Amino acid sequence: MDFTISDKMQTVIEMMDEFVDKELIPLEAEFLSDSAENFQEKIEEKQQKVKQMELWAPSHPKELGGMGLDLTEYALVSEALGRSPLGHYVFGCQAPDAGNVEILHEYGTQEQKEKYLKPLVEGRIRSCFAMTEVDQPGSNPILLDTTAEKKGDKYVINGRKWYTTAADGSDFTIVMAVTNPEASQYLQASMIIVPTGTPGYSLVRNIPVMGHKGEGYFSHGEVLFQNCEVPRENLLGPEGQGFVLAQDRLGPGRIHHCMRWIGVCKRALDLMCDYARKRYINPPDKNLASKQMVQQWIAESSAEIQAARLMVLHAAWRMEQEGSKAARKDISQIKFMVANAMQNVVDRALQVHGGLGMTDDTVLAFFYRHERAARIYDGADEVHKISAAKQILKEYEGKKVK
């Protein structure tokens, strides 16, 4: 057992940490203010710097212009970048583009790679992923209402999706739709690429989430497919294999998210400790950091972060060693453990800040409201608990326990 981080990764992380501190955190105030106009420009400016530093697209293959990091390496990167809400965008590894890159890279045809993958990795276009159904449980990929009927050399798509993150401004979406309704449950759906200019496709609205409609990257769309026709060569991967691909996509995606949340936790702990040291209370020679209740939160937060972090790194390592399937229990366990640790840590940090914590003068209120979604997307806590329990219980079949 060896917990050492390689020299290479230590260097990468230090560079990223510094960039986040010096270039991104100062941008946050503007990001958090209502006037997000022209903000896209500033992000692009920072993206240029990142490209020059050769830290662009850390999770993407080298041949596509990324850094080609493996899963455990990228986990450390996701942690570093997660400290700011802007990190992943500026380093070219934001969801859902990062996941789309992975699928296109592994399953795309030569033409699809040329047309969609290349400009996506270069950051010239943006994309989204239309999976979650409005009227169906988000966590259950086998309850799909959206259909893609084969008609001649086309697919005719009908359905309504939401939580299509970053649909606003995307050049294409990958939609999950039923192409083979007669097939067995898990083999009915396919992934299909739909350029957003296609007739019959429309962005109905940016869903107001926690009081914000958002725009561009920072939005969640409700999208409508009404007799939307695309050529059959837009099929991504084999027909009927949509869920297989989605699983492939979700496995590493959960590692990415979990480590991003660890980054959120670390930032929150930093702000909590720093403010606790600076804030003097009555009697005026005592700061918050001298108070046991605050000390308790700091210790508990630090310990929970450490626990969560080691679990994610171990799950990533196991995925690499034994594959996604062997690590299913681990992935479910990190999903709910890390999401809850994050909620606890952010909540405590906000509380230490008092009234200030409720304002957008720090990033904590943003984390508080938007990262609440962590316990819901990619499978709610409850779904993962049941899934993990079933796998654990299976281990006891035929086992003699005393």
On the 0-12 / 13-18 / 19+ scale of CB atoms within 10 A, 173 is buried
Smallest gap from residue 338 Cβ to a copy of itself (A): 10
The residue assigned the tokens 């859902």 is 96
Yes or no: say if 47 and 90 are a contact pair by the CB < 8 Å rule.
yes
Yes or no: say if 165 and 95 are a contact pair by the CB < 8 Å rule.
yes
Q: Between residues 128 and 298, which has the closer beta carbon with respect to a copy of itself?
A: 298
Length of the chain: 402
Q: What is the 3-state secondary structure (H, E, C) of 192-254?
A: EEEECCCCCEEEEEECCECCECCECCECEEEEEEEEEEEEHHHEECCCCCHHHHHHHHHHHHH
Cis status, amide bond into 283, omega within 30 of 0: yes
**CB hemisphere CA count around 93 (13 angstroms):** 31
Sequence letter at residue 134: V
Yes or no: say if 141 and 243 are a contact pair by the CB < 8 Å rule.
yes
Smallest gap from residue 3 Cβ to a copy of itself (A): 5
Alpha helices in 236-327 (DSSP H): 242-278, 292-326
Query: Residue 137: which residues within 8 A CB-CB, separation 6 or more?
Result: 143
Smallest gap from residue 21 Cβ to a copy of itself (A): 6
Smallest gap from residue 155 Cβ to a copy of itself (A): 25
Q: Between residues 84 and 234, which has the closer beta carbon with respect to a copy of itself?
A: 84
Burial 19-38 (b: 16+ CB within 10 A, else e): bbeebbbebbeebbeeeeee
Q: Between residues 35 and 110, which has the closer beta carbon with respect to a copy of itself?
A: 35
Smallest gap from residue 219 Cβ to a copy of itself (A): 12
Q: Between residues 98 and 337, which has the closer beta carbon with respect to a copy of itself?
A: 337
Smallest gap from residue 386 Cβ to a copy of itself (A): 5
Q: Between residues 118 and 370, which has the closer beta carbon with respect to a copy of itself?
A: 370
Q: Between residues 104 and 308, which has the closer beta carbon with respect to a copy of itself?
A: 308
Q: Between residues 151 and 213, which has the closer beta carbon with respect to a copy of itself?
A: 213
Distance CA 361, CA 247 (A): 39
Smallest gap from residue 175 Cβ to a copy of itself (A): 17
Determine the 3-state secondary structure of 53 from DSSP.
coil
Determine the 3-state secondary structure of 328 from DSSP.
helix
Smallest gap from residue 81 Cβ to a copy of itself (A): 15
Q: Between residues 183 and 307, which has the closer beta carbon with respect to a copy of itself?
A: 307
